[in-house]
Structure 1
Amino acid sequence: MTDVDVLIVGGGWTGTSAAMALHTHAQANPGEAATFALLEGHPDRLGGRAFSFPHTWKDADGNERTTHFEHGAQYIGQDQEAIWGLVQEAIAQGLIEKDALVDGFAARFPYKAQVMVVAGQRYQYDRDRCLFGIGGVPPDLDLWDLLGSLVFIQAVEIYEQAINVLEPWKSPKFVTDLDALTMDQWIDGFQLPPGAASLMKVSVEAVLSVQTDEVSAFYFLWYCACNGGFLNEVNDEQGGPQQYYLSCGMDGLIDALVAPFRDQIHFGEVVESVTQTPDGVTVKTSQGTHTAKKVIFATSPASAKKVAFEPALPEAWQKITDQLMGTTTKSVIYYRTPWWRNAEAQTDPAKEGVPQYTGYCGANDYPVIWVMDYSPVGPAPDYADQGCYALMTFTIGDEAKKLAEESGPDAVAKWVTTAVADLMNDSRALWTSDQYLGVDSFEWSASTPLIPGGPNTVFKPGILTGESGAPAPAESFDQPVGDLHFACSELARKRLSERKSPFPSYLPNWKDFSGPGIYSDWREDVGYMDGAITCGRFVAEQVLVALGKAKEASAGERIVGWAEELVAKAEAEIENWLVGPAEKPPVVDEAQVLAVLSTFCQSLYDGSALDIPKWRAERWQNDAAALQNWVTETLVDALVQNGLLPQPPATPSSGGVATAIAYLEEMAKWASELLTVATGFTRSGYQLYSAFEPSRDPYTKPQAVSDVVQMTRLANALMQLKSVEPYHPGGDAGPTRGRFMSLSRGVKARGA
């Protein structure tokens, strides 16, 4: 029996981070130390949803080597300060090797070919020739799918930037109303081209591992707002949260960090019940009984549902713990060679044109939604092959449930290798080929012991904002239930001393309108390992204060400079910027559609007429960000010139806070109108375009096409041309890589 001040239930990143915070506090303040113990249900490992496993293989010399792969959480980004800081600290202290931190983007950079399946259509493309430099967008994506995608991003930005991440139920009504809809209903409600809808759905499903009809639209937008915005969240390339991983395994890092207090960790302790009395808390496990003054329950809400609580949890927490987790089967497929790279194509003229795949594939409603090259590499900057070759796949949602129903020892191998073979159009991927060596997989589902799914618990309509006038269950987030404190990645919250943003919602850049604003970091990295760490630290501090062993923290001076005056003088005006889009986009007739297309195509054509000697002499580069600014303002100009949209408000050159607020309010209204008009134009244009059906009789004379079809084809060709041209004089600087941006962001960037 253990009797301590604090019992921590769960040894994932949240629980171990809470333990590290208590240990660090005790080291710094011996007189105010809180005794603690950590209970982990697994018999011999920590990490929770971060689950490393060893794979043994032989190198070219026949030597046996072992590499750690991940069944669960894997990637981190440089902007994820909590986990990035722990990794750097571990490297500095020699706890892990410096070369254990692998830049996955740089490692696969020499290879170019990628695959996306959008609305059932397979696109194979060179990642350096993405449409307008937007990573992950095939160069031959149709005009209407591109415009539809831009509309979706514009909509997501308007909504996510209006959300109060700390207290989501306090967000404006035009946003909270979306908690009555599923994400599927919200996407389909736009009635935009199927390719755009497919790209949006695959983004949601890849992030959450659930179908879009299983999650609240408001929840997904809140999730985006907590994580630096949708565009940051889906960035699988440089600068995104999926750029780096550890070759030593996440479990290896956790084991190194908890070494100073490992004797306070009890393995194989599956918690069965938690009983609160005036004398404290009693926790009964599969191994015995423990008592404490406070308990930190550091598991997913869905895991907590398996435990009997006495007295019963409040109704709000019962609803929270009743939510589903994602369903994911993550597989690592091993091959004799990296056949997908077709490396000989770099030097053999006979192989010219053979695709050299990066290993990256994405697909909506497909047996695997995501594929990545997961082959171990040597140290930077060469990232040389080590002789072990692997592809990682994710099967999620309904497809993962179908896979779980398959039987036989080779069911997973057949499923994932057949999908990869179809994606890369190469039979060498198949489990029957001489290249195949084996597969390791792990199923995160409702039947998984201890953790009933992955990566996260997702919230259905009503959890974040309430139903039928009742208080939102989310109002219980961060609030203890007696002496019981819940903590998990799904509830990520930073301590006051760690916050950098001054407000729980997005704040526009009111002093430099050409630059981006700032997303609130108060719940930064919800659903990520980084968020688990910050939540563990937050709750540990909360418990220390409750025990009288620490003083309540203050925000101090952690305020972003450009927002300080705004927060001090104009906080009450924030709501005035948050303007929702109109409900009914206009119907745009064929003449107006053609007029806008004509203007847009003319601008694309004019913009492609480069002074070739000039750009060669000045060594212009492909600047994706500048190109995206240009194309978004070109489209907006086409809508303005043809009378569908008013001019954007003029950017003030000076005037202080009052002038800035007035401008931001007008810009919010205009951006909302832009969304409405762009939705109507894209919907109407696509309907006109898709109404044309070419003759299926090859012996008839060519069928005349409509002007909309002709102009669309011209726009498609001009977009591809413009996308590959050097755009910006970059000197010796290398090309930048871009991500999708909203329609209005390009307008803001030019200071309209």
Structure 2
Amino acid sequence: MGAAADVAMDAVPPLDVLVVGAGLAGLAAARALHDQGRSVLVLEARERVGGRVLSHALGHDSVDLGAQWIGPGQPRIAALVAELGLTTFPQWSTGRKLLDLGGRLRAYRHTVPSLPLTSLLELQWAITRLERLCRQVPLDRPLAAPRAAAWDRLSMADWLDRHVRSAEARAVLAGAVRAIFAAEPQTLSLLHVLFYLHSGGGLMKLAAVKGGAQQTRIQGGAQQIAQRLAQRLAPRVILGAPVTRVVQDATGVTLHSAQGRYRARYAILAIPPPLLAALSFEPPLPAARQALAQAPMGATIKCVVAYRTPWWRAAGWSGEVLSDSSPLGLVFDDSPPDGAYGALVAFLLGDAARAWSGRPVAARARIVRDELVRFFGPAARAVIGYVEKDWPADAWSRGCYAAYLPPRLLTATNVDPRAPVGRIHWAGTETARVWHGYMEGALESGARAADEVLTRLRHAHAHESAEETG
């Protein structure tokens, strides 16, 4: 994959479509267009493909430092994994889980943690209520929900404070929200939370392992999906080509990048929303669309700690931790399917991720190890390997998992994030209707953007043919 002179500005005729971003959304869009015989080129700022899907070598294995899990109800990613010949295996979840509330550790075995009866009843009521409310938010247009304006004025923290009296139940729900969004409850619009839950099948499905969003892993790492898609598109993927300027006119779009200028009839931008602010658009994007692009990114630092064996399994632990007081908001078993070595993956989330972002790796490695010792005991000190990804410090993502909407932003802009602007179309998991924020959503968005452009290309061809015969 590299620069190809025959697709630059002097190419005649111009390309059909330029795609910005070689994450799953951009690659899915490019592949769909290419399969329909359209000329397409993908420009990627990084020297790798995958975007927020990133695998990293750890010994003789690869671990995921970006998107990792797939689950039931995700047909696009499941079909693609099978087509590409990748192997999956179940996420380890056998044994006791840990809940860390205010520094107090509690063990439990089911999806809903053990709490005092009144707190548990209130927690179950709140979960049931959120499951019902989220289904009132249309996936095509959240603002069409019956109480959209009121819900958008509230943060998720506001809703918890108003409706959940038990401090323990509030803390568990806040921890779950933090784990799902990589953001603090007070920063999230309630309307956005409800839409997101509906998009992924509900709170319990997003939080669960078995039957849920964390059910299955990909042997060798999820980045293989992007790498194999890009291999099939080569040499139509150009790396090290950050786009700086987007110019559109009546007949096409010109992209200015570090590798030169490229022109096509249409463009699909498949990059995280905050990156749009760094691009120069001519003519400028509508003000409301620019404002929507100011949505902040979730914040996570993903850390994988390796051991000689998955010793916690023999001790009866699943490796799962949910915490409201540790810098590590979430922990899972990250060992390979054969258990040849042990690994735990820990997430610094939201405020904790922002506080620790940019610090020396050694300092983060120490705090991760020390917190794992607090959770699981002295055996957690025997670390043999450590890798991490500081996503808030990544210039081409600026965070992870996805951008989120704070209170009032959606009602203030009243913009459909999927609506084209002239000849510019949008992809990326933040534009997905289903599994918004997940790999499945990225694939859905890429397919949808490709369909939009293919429809316009067909109409343009039909119009040109009619003029020629007229």
Q: Supply the distance in 1 between the matched residues of 2:257 and 2:249 (Cα, whole angstroms).
A: 17
Partner of 1:491: 431
Question: Residues 454 and 366 from structure 1, CA distance in 2 versus in 1: closer, same or farther, beyond 3 angstroms?
Answer: same
SS across alignment from 1:369: strand
Q: Which of 88, 107, 115 pairs up with 1:101?
A: 88
Could you tell me the TM-score, scaled by structure 1's length? 0.58
Equivalent residues in 2 for 1:328-347 (5 A)?
Answer: 328-341=300-313, 343=314
Q: Supply the distance in 2 between the matched residues of 1:79 and 1:360 (Cα, whole angstroms).
A: 23
Residue 339 of structure 1 deviates from its aligned partner by 2.9
Q: Supply the distance in 2 between the matched residues of 1:207 and 1:551 (Cα, whole angstroms).
A: 44
Partner of 1:198: 171
Partner of 1:674: none
Q: Which of 411, 420, 426 pairs up with 1:480?
A: 420
Q: Supply the distance in 1 between the matched residues of 2:277 and 2:65 (Cα, whole angstroms).
A: 23
Q: Which has the larger radius of gyration?
A: 1
Q: Does residue 1:222 correspond to 2:195, yes or no?
A: yes
Partner of 2:277: 305
Q: Does residue 1:171 correspond to 2:145, yes or no?
A: yes
Q: Which of 394, 402, 414 pairs up with 1:448?
A: 394
SS across alignment from 2:245: strand
Q: Supply the distance in 1 between the matched residues of 2:453 and 2:233 (Cα, whole angstroms).
A: 19
- Partners of 1:77 and 1:241 within 8 A in 2: yes
Equivalent residues in 2 for 1:134-149 (5 A)?
Answer: 135-138=111-114, 141-149=115-123
Alignment RMSD (CA, Å): 1.9
Partner of 1:189: 162
Partner of 1:272: 244
Q: Supply the distance in 2 between the matched residues of 1:246 and 1:191 (Cα, whole angstroms).
A: 38
- Partners of 1:413 and 1:438 within 8 A in 2: no
Residue 166 of structure 1 deviates from its aligned partner by 0.7
Write out per-residue CA displacement over residues 646-701 of structure 1, whole angstroms, 9 at most, x where no aligned residue. xxxxxxxxxxxxxxxxxxxxxxxxxxxxxxxxxxxxxxxxxxxxxxxxxxxxxxxx
Residue 124 of structure 1 deviates from its aligned partner by 2.0
Partner of 2:41: 37
Q: Which of 321, 325, 338 pairs up with 2:297?
A: 325
Q: Does residue 1:25 correspond to 2:36, yes or no?
A: yes
Residue 297 of structure 1 deviates from its aligned partner by 0.2
- Partners of 1:328 and 1:395 within 8 A in 2: yes
Q: Supply the distance in 2 between the matched residues of 1:222 and 1:76 (Cα, whole angstroms).
A: 20
Equivalent residues in 2 for 1:47-126 (5 A)?
Answer: 47-56=50-59, 66-91=60-85, 96=86, 100-105=87-92, 108-109=93-94, 112-125=95-108
- Partners of 1:328 and 1:444 within 8 A in 2: yes
- Partners of 1:328 and 1:443 within 8 A in 2: yes
Partner of 1:314: 286
- Partners of 2:134 and 2:202 within 8 A in 1: yes
- Partners of 2:101 and 2:325 within 8 A in 1: no
SS across alignment from 2:183: coil
Equivalent residues in 2 for 1:220-619 (5 A)?
Answer: 220-235=193-208, 237-341=209-313, 343=314, 355-378=315-338, 385-386=339-340, 388-404=341-357, 406-407=359-360, 410-424=362-376, 426-430=377-381, 435-445=382-392, 447-464=393-410, 466-467=411-412, 472-473=413-414, 475-492=415-432, 523-548=433-458
Residue 136 of structure 1 deviates from its aligned partner by 4.1
Q: Which stretches in structure 2 are left out of the alignment for 5+ residues?
A: 1-7, 463-470
Q: Which amino acid letter does the alignment assign opposite residue 42 of structure 2?
A: L
Question: Residues 436 and 550 from structure 1, CA distance in 2 versus in 1: closer, same or farther, beyond 3 angstroms?
Answer: farther
- Partners of 2:52 and 2:66 within 8 A in 1: yes
- Partners of 1:5 and 1:35 within 8 A in 2: yes
- Partners of 1:12 and 1:48 within 8 A in 2: yes
Q: Supply the distance in 2 between the matched residues of 1:15 and 1:526 (Cα, whole angstroms).
A: 15
Residue 75 of structure 1 deviates from its aligned partner by 0.3
Partner of 1:46: 49
Question: Residues 311 and 361 from structure 1, CA distance in 2 versus in 1: closer, same or farther, beyond 3 angstroms?
Answer: same
Identity of aligned residues (%): 29
Q: Supply the distance in 2 between the matched residues of 1:196 and 1:390 (Cα, whole angstroms).
A: 30
Residue 463 of structure 1 deviates from its aligned partner by 3.0
SS across alignment from 1:83: helix
SS across alignment from 1:548: helix
Question: Residues 550 and 147 from structure 1, CA distance in 2 versus in 1: closer, same or farther, beyond 3 angstroms?
Answer: farther
SS across alignment from 2:26: helix
- Partners of 1:90 and 1:253 within 8 A in 2: yes
Q: Which amino acid letter does the alignment assign opposite residue 379 of structure 2?
A: R
- Partners of 2:358 and 2:390 within 8 A in 1: no
Residue 458 of structure 1 deviates from its aligned partner by 0.3
SS across alignment from 1:390: strand
Question: Residues 156 and 136 from structure 1, CA distance in 2 versus in 1: closer, same or farther, beyond 3 angstroms?
Answer: closer
| Equivalent pairs, count | 451
Q: Supply the distance in 2 between the matched residues of 1:337 and 1:232 (Cα, whole angstroms).
A: 30
Moved more, 256-265 or 327-336: 256-265
Residue 121 of structure 1 deviates from its aligned partner by 2.8
Question: Residues 252 and 411 from structure 1, CA distance in 2 versus in 1: closer, same or farther, beyond 3 angstroms?
Answer: same
Q: Does residue 1:16 correspond to 2:16, yes or no?
A: no
Could you tell me the TM-score, scaled by structure 2's length? 0.92
Q: Supply the distance in 2 between the matched residues of 1:191 and 1:41 (Cα, whole angstroms).
A: 45
SS across alignment from 1:547: helix
- Partners of 2:100 and 2:325 within 8 A in 1: no
Partner of 2:180: 207
Q: Which stretches in structure 1 are left out of the alignment for 5+ residues?
A: 27-33, 57-65, 344-354, 379-384, 493-522, 553-752
Which structure has more strand as a fraction of its residues?
A: 2
SS across alignment from 1:213: helix
Question: Residues 331 and 234 from structure 1, CA distance in 2 versus in 1: closer, same or farther, beyond 3 angstroms?
Answer: same
Q: Supply the distance in 1 between the matched residues of 2:419 and 2:140 (Cα, whole angstroms).
A: 12
Q: Supply the distance in 2 between the matched residues of 1:326 and 1:47 (Cα, whole angstroms).
A: 18
Q: Which amino acid letter does the alignment assign opposite residue 148 of structure 1?
A: E
SS across alignment from 1:198: helix
Write out per-residue CA displacement over residues 325-371 of structure 1, whole angstroms, 9 at most, x where no aligned residue. 01100000112232323x3xxxxxxxxxxx42111111113210111
Higher relative contact order (CA 8 A, sep 6+): 2
Q: Supply the distance in 1 between the matched residues of 2:461 and 2:428 (Cα, whole angstroms).
A: 23
SS across alignment from 1:449: coil
SS across alignment from 1:258: helix
Residue 452 of structure 1 deviates from its aligned partner by 0.8
Q: Supply the distance in 2 between the matched residues of 1:229 and 1:191 (Cα, whole angstroms).
A: 19
Residue 437 of structure 1 deviates from its aligned partner by 1.4
Residue 421 of structure 1 deviates from its aligned partner by 1.1
- Partners of 2:187 and 2:407 within 8 A in 1: no
Q: Supply the distance in 1 between the matched residues of 2:194 and 2:78 (Cα, whole angstroms).
A: 25
Write out per-residue CA displacement over residues 551-596 of structure 1, whole angstroms, 9 at most, x where no aligned residue. 99xxxxxxxxxxxxxxxxxxxxxxxxxxxxxxxxxxxxxxxxxxxx
Question: Residues 300 and 234 from structure 1, CA distance in 2 versus in 1: closer, same or farther, beyond 3 angstroms?
Answer: same
Residue 191 of structure 1 deviates from its aligned partner by 4.6
